[in-house]
Structure 1
């Protein structure tokens, strides 16, 4: 060794030996499948390992498996590693925090927040790239969305895959049997709930207290849209100063207070998770529940015989005014630190077709966020979805309001906690709005 170091040639050989040894030590031998070390660099081509994270909830996973299978057939040099399940957002949290995220993420379910991910710099800016994308018929993708992508200071970080909307569900067969009026505004909503409480001896309305954002998104968002249009809806979501203590917000919260005072909200809702509240609804322990289009698919195996799903926009609007809908989009995004961005982009582009949009409705009973997809003539699409789709697209009956982006988890969590207190009758509407305004002030301060 000493002789080698004494000559120039020997010194060079020694340096080369050290470099080779270092490279060997940093190889990926023995790493687990799906970890970042197992990924293969694609050198600008669509190959290597592609990691995809998707939440499995009410929509199930059959559509994802079919699409991913087709993608692997088209791109045989790509190996897709799927990270999926009902708890996947929590399971993958450490990967995101440590800077080792999957390449593609479907943002949905508890523990996920698109806005939070953008604020944390975790998602790739897609603003320029999306302008190049086209559907199979050559139509630009940006012109084909039912609802355009969320923007953050004018920039796009995700593409809305699923067009869902929260609304209020009821059993059509039960209502027809008892002659109960299907509400079309808050006045008729209260009237019908009063009749049901008196005749059935139940609290007519239930939701989940474990995930109070169900009520926030399912009942309050459309109420804010109906009361103050897109401006009010956007202001409360962004936590704008004085928005939560405005007269219009207080007017809405007084309606919630009235529901609680009348005993129309199930007093046990605070302890229920989403599936427990949905099961109570199916068993006629309650008559109304706010959920998205995924409800019938999620509860398919538990739905009693003869139960007929009915859907209406949440009836928080005033009499004589259209009912309000706020689309709730579920987006696809690419990680800012994706190790295989080319395959990630190929997958996202692959998914957005009308053919897969039809399949999505068949698999999930929900709608993919693309215009011009014929559902009415498809006998595999459930009737409630066809009827809801027709209702939503009737401007005389329903007004659609748009939020700028999802509410940040940093704001939604404290507001949701205060909301539970209001619904349990522990605080007044005025106290709620004050707590919400304080939460918004803290949120604004933390994001300066």
Structure 2
């Protein structure tokens, strides 16, 4: 169990809610937003406050929340609100929950009406670089003071002490803490262990040649080796093939420099030899027919269903898939996980995608001070173990607290997909890696470069498009963006 706990502690937590969607809804818990009559004189004014935060018990506040209802669902959020309002009955919530939050957020921001804007929300945008632009414009309330706050019910234990260094650095990368990490995820290739056992397929390839041999065997058995949602083609690159470049850099001894260049936009970005090799391998897989015909039309649930129905062996997705597809998962289906071993060294480090500081609640700066203070109290309340356990049990995500694994009973509440990742980690030398950068690119050229690369994924995966010319074109654009957007010293 110590080994399992250590593995869990190594995860770089942040994001709880990633890819996939469920139904949307709008919830409203009504209460007066008018402060109750209070006395500013005598003992009552001095004692009628909450001792842990000094806020008044009498002033009523309603927090307007924009909640991104992704594949992780909202049960954990409903529990958090229930617990918070029971503890602080003067606070209520007006929640708008939807899987397409960006369609509501972006018009609100564009209108410039701060009164109509959400007080607290997930920064889910369709436009690339929008979060960075809002951070730089100072539109979010800084949450830096939360790091040194005591955790709920744990006097003397600070929030910072239970958050990984990488998550902390990622949260502060923009100069101030616009959001703190609530939970995290891992991503890669998920499959049915029972099918693999039945077919005699290798569940734990340790080298590149073993992985390719596995795909050849699967294809020979009449099953699609790998599927992914062509509608959201980044599932294939971000969660699987983009990790190859770091594997290769690790194997040739240049990993630290390579990662530093990546984080800080130094040197080539798309056209490093390691990245071109990763894309060429994807291209070769496409020419071998390892991906589904018509993959460009598949969405995430359709591609995941192909694995549940044994039409495909592996699906590129995140560990939220078990929660997202639980209603469709057969009783005899057992989730498994693997990542790509990029070299033929059996002792190599295998990199696994991990979300760090990608998603969390932000607070709109132009709001009443009292509302912002209570919004911060709510964010802090999400680190209570009852909510962290709900993230594991109900949302199917890794909780954000590093000390979550200290209790074996809490580990037992992880869902099957998270357990599968942990099982894989016991059999391989793995390193969790986020794709966070130390500053954002907001210039039009950056968006153009990203669009070029994104739009070629399905063409490369079907063996119809050579990736290198596109990477070279994208490199020219991103270098222009870097020149414009690099922070001035």
Query: One fold, TM greater than 0.5?
Result: yes
* Between 249-258 and 315-324, the greater mean CA deviation after superposition: 315-324
**Could you tell me which of 155, 167, 183 is aligned with 1:148?**
167
Question: TM-score if structure 1 supplies the norm length?
Answer: 0.82
The equivalent of 1:105 in structure 2 is 121
* Between 212-221 and 51-60, the greater mean CA deviation after superposition: 212-221
Q: What RMSD, in angstroms, separates the aligned Cα atoms of the two structures?
A: 3.1
The equivalent of 2:44 in structure 1 is none
The equivalent of 1:421 in structure 2 is 459
Aligned-partner Cα distance in 2 for 1:225–1:318:
15
**Could you tell me which of 312, 323, 333 is aligned with 1:307?**
333
- SS of 1:160's equivalent in the other structure is coil
- SS of 2:212's equivalent in the other structure is helix
The equivalent of 1:58 in structure 2 is 71
The answer to whether the Cα contact below 8 Å between 1:107 and 1:332 also exists between their aligned partners in 2 is yes
- SS of 1:64's equivalent in the other structure is helix
Aligned-partner Cα distance in 1 for 2:314–2:476:
31
CA 57–355 in structure 1, closer or farther in 2 if over 3 Å, else same = same
The equivalent of 1:267 in structure 2 is 293
Aligned-partner Cα distance in 2 for 1:234–1:224:
13
**Could you tell me which of 397, 402, 406 is aligned with 1:366?**
397
The equivalent of 1:21 in structure 2 is none
CA 197–343 in structure 1, closer or farther in 2 if over 3 Å, else same = same
The answer to whether the Cα contact below 8 Å between 1:209 and 1:270 also exists between their aligned partners in 2 is yes
1:285 and 2:311 aligned: yes
Alignment map for 1:15-164 (pairs within 5 Å): 47-99=60-112, 100=114, 101-107=117-123, 114-115=131-132, 117-119=134-136, 121-127=138-144, 129-135=145-151, 136-137=153-154, 138-146=156-164, 147-149=166-168, 150=170, 151-164=172-185
CA 269–417 in structure 1, closer or farther in 2 if over 3 Å, else same = same
The answer to whether the Cα contact below 8 Å between 1:118 and 1:157 also exists between their aligned partners in 2 is yes
Aligned-partner Cα distance in 2 for 1:115–1:231:
25
Gaps of 5+ in 2: 1-26, 39-54, 250-254
Aligned-partner Cα distance in 1 for 2:324–2:235:
15
The answer to whether the Cα contact below 8 Å between 1:244 and 1:437 also exists between their aligned partners in 2 is yes
The equivalent of 1:28 in structure 2 is none
The answer to whether the Cα contact below 8 Å between 2:352 and 2:431 also exists between their aligned partners in 1 is yes
Please give the per-residue CA displacement for 1:170-204, whole angstroms capped at 9, x wherever unaligned: 1100000010012334322211111111112x331
The equivalent of 1:322 in structure 2 is 349
Aligned-partner Cα distance in 2 for 1:55–1:266:
30
Deviation at 1:230, TM superposition (A): 5.8
Alignment map for 1:135-214 (pairs within 5 Å): 135=151, 136-137=153-154, 138-146=156-164, 147-149=166-168, 150=170, 151-182=172-203, 183-200=205-222, 202-214=223-235
* Between 154-163 and 191-200, the greater mean CA deviation after superposition: 154-163
The equivalent of 2:384 in structure 1 is 353
Please give the per-residue CA displacement for 1:109-137, whole angstroms capped at 9, x wherever unaligned: 8778644543554333333x133222243
Aligned residues: 411
Aligned-partner Cα distance in 1 for 2:344–2:176:
36
Deviation at 1:144, TM superposition (A): 0.7
Aligned-partner Cα distance in 2 for 1:132–1:414:
43
Deviation at 1:442, TM superposition (A): 4.8
Deviation at 1:388, TM superposition (A): 2.1
**Could you tell me which of 420, 424, 433 is aligned with 1:401?**
433
Question: TM-score if structure 2 supplies the norm length?
Answer: 0.75
* Between 369-378 and 243-252, the greater mean CA deviation after superposition: 369-378
The equivalent of 2:363 in structure 1 is 334
Aligned-partner Cα distance in 1 for 2:238–2:427:
21
The answer to whether the Cα contact below 8 Å between 1:239 and 1:443 also exists between their aligned partners in 2 is no
The answer to whether the Cα contact below 8 Å between 2:186 and 2:352 also exists between their aligned partners in 1 is yes
Aligned-partner Cα distance in 2 for 1:260–1:240:
31
Gaps of 5+ in 1: 1-32
* Between 315-324 and 74-83, the greater mean CA deviation after superposition: 315-324
CA 88–154 in structure 1, closer or farther in 2 if over 3 Å, else same = closer
The answer to whether the Cα contact below 8 Å between 2:33 and 2:60 also exists between their aligned partners in 1 is no
* Between 39-48 and 269-278, the greater mean CA deviation after superposition: 39-48
- SS of 2:463's equivalent in the other structure is coil
The answer to whether the Cα contact below 8 Å between 1:414 and 1:439 also exists between their aligned partners in 2 is no
Question: Rg: which structure is higher?
Answer: 1
Please give the per-residue CA displacement for 1:338-380, whole angstroms capped at 9, x wherever unaligned: 4421111111111122332122111122211111213743444
CA 439–317 in structure 1, closer or farther in 2 if over 3 Å, else same = farther
CA 189–362 in structure 1, closer or farther in 2 if over 3 Å, else same = same
Deviation at 1:263, TM superposition (A): 0.9
The equivalent of 1:6 in structure 2 is none
The answer to whether the Cα contact below 8 Å between 1:185 and 1:323 also exists between their aligned partners in 2 is no
CA 139–211 in structure 1, closer or farther in 2 if over 3 Å, else same = same
Deviation at 1:310, TM superposition (A): 0.6
Deviation at 1:432, TM superposition (A): 3.3
Deviation at 1:312, TM superposition (A): 2.1
